[in-house]
Structure 1
Amino acid sequence: MKKRHWALGAIVGVVLLALGIFLIFQEESFKKIFVSLLGVYMIGSGFSTLLGLKSYQLGPRLRPATLIKALLTLLLGVIALILPILVADLSFLILLYIIATELLFSGIISIINLVAVRNLDIAFSPIIGDALISLILSMLLFFFPRQIGTVLLKGVGILVIAIGLFFIIASLITRRTGKREEGKTIEGEAEILEP
């Protein structure tokens, strides 16, 4: 492998290593990023529910509940995405509890919808995925609202550090292998045959 490839791998590894160490100590800014990412997820979930509403054959009671769920998810997603940017001294604990409540409501409605459409010829995996993710996130936010940012931040930081170390080690192994291959010269005799 050429010198620039292993050098580029080493540089990427060092940058990722530094980024991982930096992330571990950025708790306040990560809370804002985490709430914004929850907002992005909620916007996607709301749009997905609105788009899927046409294919689900829901009864007169479930259709309005699902529509309210989708619109509420979209609204809270936009709020969670924009509010951390606009308001500096926002109480994230209150916002996390509001998001957790909506996610719990969303998960319950998704499970009810799954039961209602189980006999239809449609893919159930988006409904199951939405229900599971919503319920798991809501439980985490209800039980560990203060620790969720810290735990996720440390986890992401450690993961980025591990990836950075992998890049550094892989580039060193590639460099060592490349040097060994350069030292090997294959000699032989060749004969040119004319037709």
Structure 2
Amino acid sequence: MKYLTYILLVLILGHTINAQEIAVLKYNGGGDWYANPTSLPNLIKFSNQNVNTRISANPKTVETSSVEIFNFPFIHMTGHGNVFFTPDDITNLRNYLLSGGFLHIDDNYGMDSFLRPELEKLFPEKELVELPASHPIFNIHFKFPNGLPKIHEHDNKPPQAFGIFEEDRLILLYTYETDLGNGWENREIHNNPEEVRQKALKMGANILKYVFEN
């Protein structure tokens, strides 16, 4: 029994040591950066169980201008309203992304008109380009032959995935008119059918797997 207990402790500690952490971005401007509080924990659980990621169960919170941002290979950003990046935010976030970090922005509805000018400030020399359905992020594990799935209806627009690249590396993913985070949340919050929730979770797991393997 003591030997079995020892083996279990080694396995648990090994998982903890090797686990990676991801974070939610706390940005300026007054937008609700804290929206969808159950979404990332649910996505992490699904991803760890289905695509062999080893992500710590509870995501952290990090401010845009904080040096702590460099501790996280993946940062998630969401909300409904205003976004504003200060010059310090721009410098820090830009350095983070160019040095190997990744930012996923999921418009929870109402963020787009505020976000795009800030992205132009962040990378004035780069273009936000739409990802084709053939991009590996849509096929790395779960298959989405038509590209980004539609999860939550707002304005009857097609879902779109936009990216910013540094050479061939995708450093920023912006998911628009899909609302993946709503699909990741606890089922009772938005009452999405399970089929829709599964699409959202599978797409989210693809994003995480892509980031951690590229």
Tell me the TM-score range normalised by the shorter chain.
under 0.3
Q: TM-score, normalised by structure 1?
A: 0.27
Greater RCO (Cα-Cα under 8 Å, separation 6 or more): 1
State TM-score, norm by structure 2: 0.25
Q: Which structure is higher in strand share?
A: 2
